Amino acid sequence: MECLLTRLDEKILSLKKRSKKALVAYLVAGDPDLDSTIELMHGFVDSGVDIIELGVPFTDPIAEGPVIQAAHDRALKNNTSLGKIFSLVKKFREKNHDTPVILMGYMNTFLANAKALKESYFLGTDAVLIVDIPGESNLEDFGINKENLASISLIAPTTSKDRIAKICDSSSGFIYYVTLRGVTGSSHLDINEAEKNIDYISSQTSLPIFAGFGIKTTDDAVNLSKISDGIVIGSSLVQMIHEQSESREYKKIYDYLIEMSEAIS
């Protein structure tokens, strides 16, 4: 064995061993503020979340629906930068060593921090998911040094078979299947189409396939977890975080996650 398993590989292996579907939770770093983000990340883990997707705010997030857009705006008002997010992950790692953290965002903010991205691995970041680049591209070609970081790509209902093959080839960690035509938080979930596509993708790769975009209810979660290796919950969490941002009382959110986690196991 020449290299150690990464934190993300280990997590995926352990889920597989236990035949457990992954619960991936998305939140926007810096909304309502960075301290709350860390508190929420730990709370998520305690409520059964396996992997955390940390949204990196951008002024022009074209793949996001209104809920996540507004969260990006609030985070930017708090001057949340990628540099601060790296520090946040480092702080998270003081207490947590086994929950993978994925940075999800837009190319321009990563470009502006190309050098620091390499260092971020040593601060505890495990993967990047850049929404607005072709899934088959190699980040190194854009001067982004992602040494040690897994590169997660999206596959959509509209992705052609030849692109699916290319994207699977250049991905690591897992494949993120976008369950609908639309922005985050939409509600056009089509389970039958998702099932067909996920079946096809799994014939092309040994990577696990997680499904996300538009999961709101436990029914959505259960249905999608049956046909995939895990689910991603985003907009509904971001909405709840915002609703609780006055009181900073997050129990309601944790209860929701516990319910989701139990529903899909």
82 vs 260 by CB, closer to another protein: 82
Q: Which of 26, 92, 110, 121 binds another protein (CB under 8 A)?
A: 110
| Residue 243: burial class (beta carbons within 10 Å; 0-12, 13-18, 19+) | exposed
- Does residue 181 bind another protein (CB under 8 A)? yes
- Least Å distance, CB 57 to another protein, is 8
Where in 141-170 is the site for another protein (CB under 8 A)? Answer: 153-160, 163, 167
List residues with catalytic annotation.
53, 64
- Least Å distance, CB 258 to another protein, is 31
- Least Å distance, CB 130 to another protein, is 9
Interface characters, 1-40, with another protein (x: CB under 8 A): ----------------------------------------
CA dihedral sign, ordered 122, 69, 174, 114: negative
- Does residue 121 bind another protein (CB under 8 A)? no
DSSP string, the chain: --SPPPHHHHHHHHHHHTT--EEEEEEETTSS-HHHHHHHHHHHHHTT--EEEEE---S--TT--HHHHHHHHHHHHTT--HHHHHHHHHHHHTT-SSS-EEEEE-HHHHHTTHHHHHHHGGGT--EEEETTS-TT--GGGGT---TT-EE-EEE-TT--HHHHHHHHHH--S-EEEE-SSSSTT-----HHHHHHHHHHHHTT-SS-EEEESS--SHHHHHHHHHHSSEEEE-HHHHHHHHHTTTTT--HHHHHHHHHHHHHH-
Interface characters, 207-246, with another protein (x: CB under 8 A): ----------------------------------------
131 vs 231 by CB, closer to another protein: 131
- Does residue 171 bind another protein (CB under 8 A)? no
- Least Å distance, CB 218 to another protein, is 25
Largest Cα span, the chain: 50
- Least Å distance, CB 105 to another protein, is 9
**Which residues are paired to 26 by β-bridges?**
53
- Least Å distance, CB 153 to another protein, is 7
Interface characters, 58-87, with another protein (x: CB under 8 A): xxxxxx-xx--x---x--x----xxx----
Contact positions vs another protein (CB under 8 A):
58-63, 65-66, 69, 73, 76, 81-83, 106-113, 131-135, 153-160, 163, 167, 178, 181-183, 186, 188
